[in-house]
Amino acid sequence: MSVLLTGATGFVGMEVLARLLEGDEEVVALVRGGDESEAQARLDTVLDGLGVEPAARSRVRAVVAELTSPGLGLTDADADTLAGEVTEIVHCAASVSFAQSLPDARAINVLGTRGVLELAQRIGQRGALRRMVHVSTAYVAGRHRGRFAERDLYIGQEFRNTYEQTKAEAEALVDAAGQDLPIVTLRPSIIMGESDTGWTPAFNVLYWPLRAFDRGLLPSIPTKPGNRVDVVPVDFVADAIVHLLREPSDVRGVVHATASDAAPTAQELVALAAQTLGRDRPPLVEDSDDSLGRHSEEAAQYMPYFDMEMIFDDERARELLSPAGIVAPPLHDYFPALVDYARRARWGKTALTRAQARAQATTPAA
């Protein structure tokens, strides 16, 4: 198995790369860079941070690419070489910014996905493509209320931001290509750090209000107590991606990587955060203007993810992932690890690699 991986220098991609190298796959990582040496240097930094052993490192190499360029910035010769070598694709690369303009978000999330699909079609023409896993987001559901099924995409919902919109647009491309190619789309919900170490390089979405809460800066939270906050650890998502990559090629369609019915309510999450952080519970106030969320650009981006009246249906996930033991753990089981790591990393101000987090996981935080 030779896997083409996009997004290897990103949060989810790093976790996927680590798992592929723990197996026996050969990996070609598409990496942004001015030349091959710069791209390889970026990849080597990731491998150092992951703590990958030298023997495993020999099974991965970087290829210079640019998602926003036509054909991923690859020459025809490079594309032909990859088409003759690659048998699987994992497309993790994306912009996860909620504040990007629509053209900028489309350049990465939509046009980049189109470029990956064009390469997949070139590989498929040779009969060599066994599987492609496309990483989307459960929040293609946008502002939908009620249950959102794995078969749903455009059902009249509005979107909160350009990230949600462009990931939905990219999914539409993938869905069309999936008529001819063996593609599985995975939709994670809010991705948090590793469930054992708490490690994450990205302190956004749920981390922002947690940090404000830890500093006593969150007087209230604008949401209904019973609204669900669906979060999952990155190791669950990466395990799901790699498992689906290795599934038979007749497995296609969309799979939710979500907590679904087990997602905590806003009230339960606030109680858990108050207990773990040692703070008084802020009140949950519907339509309140007395929250920091009404006075901060960051909060305006992230606080709406507390205020959703939606549950993700995960029927296919239970069918395909649960038998392999790949199930999202309850948030209360790993929430202390998330907080411990976040405090060690000073909520993102101190860079700690995955390898360092694993080495320090047994040492209490100061």
The CATH number linked to 34 is: 3.40.50.720
pLDDT value at 362 more than 80: no
- Here the tokens at position 317 are 């996930």
pLDDT exceeds 80 at position 286: no
Mean pLDDT along residues 33-60: 95
What domain range includes position 71? 2-358
What is the distance, to the nearest Å, from the Cα of residue 49 to the centroid of all Cα atoms in its chain? Answer: 18
Contacts 24+ apart (CB under 8 A), 341-346: 341/193, 341/197, 341/198, 341/199, 341/200, 342/193, 342/198, 342/200, 342/203, 342/207, 342/210, 342/211, 343/214, 345/203
Query: If you compute the radius of gyration of the chain from its CA atoms, what whole number of angstroms results?
Result: 20
**Number of compact structural domains in the chain:** 1
258 part of a folded domain: yes
pLDDT band at 159 (very low <50, low <70, confident <90, very high): very high
Q: CA angle, corner 222, sides to 220 and 224, nearest 5? A: 115
Residue 173 has pLDDT above 70, yes or no: yes
Inside any domain, residue 283 = yes
Would you state the pLDDT for residue 285?
A: 87
pLDDT of residue 302: 85
Residues 253 and 149: their CA atoms lie apart, in Å, by 12
What is the rounded distance in angstroms from the CA atom of residue 38 to the CA atom of residue 28? 15
Token match 């519970």: residue? Answer: 281
CA-to-CA distance for 21 and 318, rounded, in angstroms?
A: 26
Q: What is the pLDDT of residues 68-85, one digit of tens each?
A: 999 999 988 999 999 999
What share of the chain in percent tops pLDDT 90?
82
List pLDDT tens digits, range 4-32: 999 999 999 999 999 999 998 999 999 99
Is 366 a domain residue? no
In a domain, 221, yes or no: yes
Residue 363 lies in a domain: no
Residue 365 lies in a domain: no
Residue 296 pLDDT? 66
Query: Any idea which residue has 């006593």 for tokens?
Result: 216
The answer on pLDDT for 293 being more than 50 is no
Round to the nearest angstrom and report the end-to-end CA distance of the chain: 44
How confident is the model at residue 232, as a pLDDT?
A: 98
Residue 364 belongs to a domain: no
Spatial neighbors of 45 by CB under 8 A, at least 6 apart, are none
Position 129 in a domain: yes
pLDDT digits (tens, 9 = 90+) for 228-251: 999 999 999 999 999 999 987 788
